[in-house]
Structure 1
């Protein structure tokens, strides 16, 4: 994928900013003004505070920190920041649609698995994209031939390469790039660099084999041992094997509105009247926790109501969650028909409710329930040009808290502010949208 991140995207940006090999726009009008491009880059850098660290490093500013832009950062910018921040920035929509078309095909390339239909679509899609590229940037003008480097032609072979060798993650350059980065500090002699590299490779291989044979990989990391998610003061319950709660923990009184919402959620859960819940569930049974971590490599989500943010922190309170909704909730004569729906919102509170043996509530023994209270995002219509990228927009949150079981929480999402924070774009990399991402072991 370095073909795209380190060549195609960089060349497109050079064309948009009028810095590509002295070429002008010719018969087209695709250049972005300097102030427009600087604003786009600054907005991308500012979005780092609203994108969880689980998504990677803070995005650099391509206008002022281009040397800090790695293939990984260009990948993130292309897939998530670029489509949002470049919307309505070009003089004509066709330039933006051409860019989004490339992003859509790149996302298909990054899927873990591809079908024969996907490969066929990529083959035709890249061919169509290259033809449009020639019309917009080359304009069939021999004097603009430098606008068509070999990397543009290479796009036509991606589908064939996938068909022959498998998805791109099986052969991409990220592991080799990281290995070269590890090799550099090992070169201690300018006169004999080969000997330094050879010695490093041999010693690294010896340590790796020793760790495997004698099972002390953890000790060789030279970091404090962390077994799973064990954190001082954590709380885990057998009823919730997929998550663990982390401090801080509070038992402060709740507002009457919040307490009422919890009682309504419990009444629905136990299928009893609200009055019965109020009678048997006491506030002393409820405590708050500051964080929840999904096990087996999941995200750590923070409750905004209990964890205060620092000036340099990155927001980890917005999440994607799924819950069952009755399609006929407004039609009382119809029997319930539940379907799973996806929502986005800010995690406000995490509640642990311990209910003793209460036959009136159909609770046969001591029961512990984890609930999450969320302010749901009021999603707005997505521009047609972005609908294929599954990017959602919102401008405000619901005033009423949505109380759900904590297993409904799926993962963290990022946000990109638009129009000075009056509107937000939601970045979601989970579920069916998950793509291959290289991570150091």
Structure 2
């Protein structure tokens, strides 16, 4: 009950300096009692002494310095956590990114202390500038609004072999049926660009295709080529007598590589100006149907390969090999793209002249 009494005191709307000074000794007594009962001053029991336990020792000083914890935590700490967690994109070496980001935040804070205009901009300004693209990335104008960013490695003059040309012709014939499959097969250029990685801007995933996975690198043990994508299928494909009814569907598969195919202007094909298509070459997880965010889906092997537009790729998915249901083993799909995938510390913006919603 000592901890309960401490928390109740900290959650009070008002407090006195004398009460906080008394609370300091109550917290010290609680921590010492905790160590005596659970830690028992033994090395093999050190794991029970969590960092949060010893953080309590600083609470009294923080309250005297910053005010009640329900004020300091809700605003200062959560906003700072948002800044830190947003930059930690790498799951392999996140600490280098965090260290660099904390350093940059400190540098900006130092500049703001010297220049009042910068401080004012940080407090009240809003950055509408687009996210910068690094030297290892490229954005085609046709896909800028779709947040598709291509990343190296790339092959600028990639030769399209006949089997791959057939896949491309099948894709263009299906999506742009003005010309026949044979006509598209002859129209497709001999060479295009091949890219190994893809980034979905505005907080999306960074995807490494199968050709870009290097087992010898630091990231080699992580394969982020398995993806979730959307496509359209005929709802009545198993009923030859029914009319065609195309519906949206979800699929999973391995991203082999990406192609940037530039088609020249041609009136016969309905191309008014030279246009670049970013296409994904995907090998599907065979016989997988359904949404992996609602249920666990399983597959045993990969199936056919096909071409889709890069905008069909939604996010990276995981796969775990298990023998829980089959002796030979199978892959379970882990899709965390649902509504509960992220913690967001953002606060809704309000017009300072609008007093609605501020009655309390």
TM-score (norm 1): 0.46
Structure showing the higher helix proportion among its residues:
1
* CA distances 1:373-393 after superposition (whole Å, capped 9, x unpaired): 1111125699xxxx9952222
* CA distances 1:65-90 after superposition (whole Å, capped 9, x unpaired): x789999xxxxxxxxxxxxxxxxxxx
Figure out how many residues of one structure are paired with residues of the other and give that number. Answer: 244
Question: In the alignment, is the contact (CA less than 8 A) between 2:112 and 2:119 conserved in 1?
Answer: no
| 1:232 paired to 2:135 | yes
Equivalent position SS for 2:258: strand
Displacement of 1:207: 5.4
Give 1:326's aligned residue.
Answer: 234
* CA distances 1:372-418 after superposition (whole Å, capped 9, x unpaired): 01111125699xxxx995222222111x2121110000011122221
Alignment partner of 1:266 out of 159, 172, 177: 172
Give 2:251's aligned residue.
Answer: 343
RMSD value, Cα: 4.4
| 1:401 paired to 2:305 | yes
| 1:248 paired to 2:153 | yes
Give 1:195's aligned residue.
Answer: none
Give 1:437's aligned residue.
Answer: 343
Give 2:61's aligned residue.
Answer: none
Q: Distance in 1 between matches of 2:277 and 2:294?
A: 36
Once the two structures are superposed, the pairs formed by residues 196-235 of structure 1 within 5 Å of their partners are 210=113, 214-215=117-118, 228-235=131-138
Q: 1:176 to 1:294 in 2, by over 3 A?
A: closer
* CA distances 1:328-369 after superposition (whole Å, capped 9, x unpaired): 345455443221111111100101110001222221221111
Structure showing the higher strand proportion among its residues:
2
Q: 1:177 to 1:252 in 2, by over 3 A?
A: closer
Q: Distance in 2 between matches of 1:439 and 1:316?
A: 27
| 1:289 paired to 2:208 | no
Give 2:296's aligned residue.
Answer: 391
* CA distances 1:171-216 after superposition (whole Å, capped 9, x unpaired): 79x949969x9xxxxxxxxxxxxxxxxxxxxx99x75974995437
Q: Distance in 1 between matches of 2:114 and 2:298?
A: 48
Q: Distance in 2 between matches of 1:352 and 1:248?
A: 13
Give 2:322's aligned residue.
Answer: 418
Question: In the alignment, is the contact (CA less than 8 A) between 1:356 and 1:365 conserved in 2?
Answer: yes
Once the two structures are superposed, the pairs formed by residues 70-109 of structure 1 within 5 Å of their partners are none
Equivalent position SS for 1:239: helix
Equivalent position SS for 1:316: coil
Q: Distance in 1 between matches of 2:180 and 2:133?
A: 39
Displacement of 1:310: 3.5
Displacement of 1:422: 3.1
* CA distances 1:250-286 after superposition (whole Å, capped 9, x unpaired): 13324432221111111112112110011211222x2
Q: What runs of 5+ residues in structure 1 fail to find an aligned partner?
A: 1-20, 22-65, 72-169, 182-202, 220-225
Q: 1:380 to 1:304 in 2, by over 3 A?
A: closer
Q: 1:207 to 1:258 in 2, by over 3 A?
A: same
Q: What runs of 5+ residues in structure 2 fail to find an aligned partner?
A: 1-37, 39-46, 53-72, 85-105, 123-128, 347-360
Q: Distance in 2 between matches of 1:325 and 1:212?
A: 59
Equivalent position SS for 2:150: strand
Q: Distance in 2 between matches of 1:325 and 1:269?
A: 13
Question: In the alignment, is the contact (CA less than 8 A) between 1:347 and 1:374 conserved in 2?
Answer: yes
* CA distances 1:296-355 after superposition (whole Å, capped 9, x unpaired): 111111121244343642211111111121213454554432211111111001011100
Equivalent position SS for 1:365: coil
